[in-house]
Structure 1
């Protein structure tokens, strides 16, 4: 039995290695996400969606590649897109494929599996297949609106409030005074430098990036700690026994992915730490299933969609990922 000092030493070594490898990619992901949050409007994306369902599904997958937004920030973005007219099935494809089919996650996966780089390509391909299949199923089956009632439009209220405030301002009877005040107001608006607007957007992007980094960082720390602890407490023989089963390995990695709730920019490094005990198919299950459905993601989905639809979506993800990864595992054994 391993002594406590050795256990702590192994835990620290595993935990630090996972965090240090994943941190740069998570930081890059939140920077991209924050820039897009501030500088790219949802209406611009919505206008580009094709009318053909198959093309729209493929476009949503490409959209995930172009806009590398982490799953932590996709749900509120997609809710706004749906309210602006984006079809439900394309929004679901974007939610499922977006966190995986993007260059930041691909680079992180490629670096995590430097000795098995083909897993990075297969992760991208299988995520596209899973997301497209689920999106087409929802297009054919779901005919009712699954969205929860949207909260009151704060921006509209704020705009109305500002207009009301302007109307209630005391107005002098003397026309010259009124004209003078109006002219100074208009000139102050005109003289506002464009540079200050850009500076404000950059400041907003950085603030959003910092907030999202700390929000996602706690999940990375928790996931890395649990992963390191599991590998320290479970013997290698126990892990090999779980990973050796043709079905148990996939089920175990699905459960791990759901509970750890890792960011897609860092989960590949956690998966690679299990590479010696689990086959390639189970590792793909972990890397595809986690970004599509995990604990924190379920809570976020329930805040946007009705519980019945979230349950349907969860069943579709579980079944589709299991089948696709099981087939891939038969053709791509870990060398």
Structure 2
């Protein structure tokens, strides 16, 4: 036990997190630690910390759920719960995801554990897409952000669900295998195991800590890249090119990817553009960002094969863009 704790205390990720804390406080009020840096660098630091503060609570919830799945959920349970029909499995995963309050960071470790336990890749993707996009917290925050406008909130929920089903079903057709980089070992106790419930809870906690360190390093890396791009890439030049539907949607989807906002708060940013862009472009921002963004891409690259992540990125981008353009024409 002591050896296990020491191992994690000496883990490079732990050192990195400690370093980040020192880095943050070095720009605080203590004169002894203040450094003479440019305002843009201070701005990047602020954005970086804000992304981490937004994401870390959801990652912690996600790794605890992942630890629970690893210890207490058996493969035979999964096989009984998931329908054999692909479309029904996709539909079920999207419905369950829609009722699950998680952000795009916290959902990644959960999906990895589910797929490692035998959930088909297409069902895992359905859960991954709808969880951060249309859960009750996100819909309520969207309703509030747009001045109690239920039309935008309902459009985000309905269109997001339809697009998620389409993407997951396309994955079921074209993608084979679980696409995980590394197999997830099954350590769930067998019926003959004599472990007490307390021991199983401790095992769950250990797995959650493993998962946190594993996911945390990629969250930090993704947050850094997102804050760097937000600081040093001019959004004014992007906004200047959004003069028609296609380009305005491209701009808003690009902003959603780069900003890497938590899905529980992105509606308030999206609402600030409602006088600049058409409603369809605003919806592309609200739907695309929770499905895929910069920090989430880096986290997924740590879990899934790079080729699959690239295909999924292109599939999400193409499906969101084409579906919303088609529906805009019908409207």
Give me the TM-score of the superposition, normalised by structure 2. Answer: 0.65
- Would the aligned equivalents of 2:291 and 2:316 in 1 still touch at CA under 8 Å? yes
* SS at 1:324 equivalent: helix
Question: How far apart in 2 are the matches of 1:31 and 1:60?
Answer: 22
Q: Deviations over 1:251-309 (max 9, x none)?
A: 11111111111121111111111111111111111111112121112212222222222
Quick check: 1:150 aligned with 2:182? Answer: yes
Cα gap change, 1:307/1:260 in structure 2, threshold over 3 Å: closer, same or farther?
same
Question: How far apart in 2 are the matches of 1:216 and 1:306?
Answer: 17
Question: How far apart in 1 are the matches of 2:277 and 2:170?
Answer: 31
Aligned to 2:135: 102
Aligned to 1:326: 325
Unmatched tracts of structure 2, length 5 or more: 1-38
Q: Deviations over 1:58-79 (max 9, x none)?
A: 1011111232222102222212
Q: Residue 248 of structure 1: CA displacement? A: 0.7
* SS at 1:244 equivalent: coil
- Would the aligned equivalents of 1:56 and 1:90 in 2 still touch at CA under 8 Å? yes
- Would the aligned equivalents of 1:57 and 1:135 in 2 still touch at CA under 8 Å? yes
Q: What is the number of equivalent residue pairs in this alignment?
A: 279
* SS at 1:71 equivalent: coil
Question: How far apart in 1 are the matches of 2:289 and 2:220?
Answer: 16
Aligned to 2:164: 131
- Would the aligned equivalents of 2:225 and 2:295 in 1 still touch at CA under 8 Å? no
Aligned to 2:87: 54
Unmatched tracts of structure 1, length 5 or more: 1-7, 160-188
Cα gap change, 1:26/1:272 in structure 2, threshold over 3 Å: closer, same or farther?
farther
* SS at 1:138 equivalent: helix
Cα gap change, 1:57/1:77 in structure 2, threshold over 3 Å: closer, same or farther?
same
Q: Residue 320 of structure 1: CA displacement? A: 0.5
Instruction: Report which structure shows greater RCO (CA 8 Å, sep ≥6).
Output: 1
Question: How far apart in 1 are the matches of 2:63 and 2:277?
Answer: 35
* SS at 1:98 equivalent: helix
Aligned to 1:267: 266
Question: How far apart in 1 are the matches of 2:199 and 2:180?
Answer: 38
Q: Cα RMSD between the aligned structures?
A: 4.3
Q: Residue 90 of structure 1: CA displacement? A: 0.8
- Would the aligned equivalents of 2:101 and 2:135 in 1 still touch at CA under 8 Å? yes
Quick check: 1:258 aligned with 2:257? Answer: yes
Q: Deviations over 1:133-165 (max 9, x none)?
A: 1221122222x3252442684969xx9xxxxxx
- Would the aligned equivalents of 1:279 and 1:329 in 2 still touch at CA under 8 Å? no
Question: How far apart in 1 are the matches of 2:161 and 2:68?
Answer: 26
Question: How far apart in 2 are the matches of 1:260 and 1:289?
Answer: 12
Report which of the two structures shows the higher radius of gyration computed on alpha carbons. Answer: 1
Question: How far apart in 2 are the matches of 1:320 and 1:255?
Answer: 15
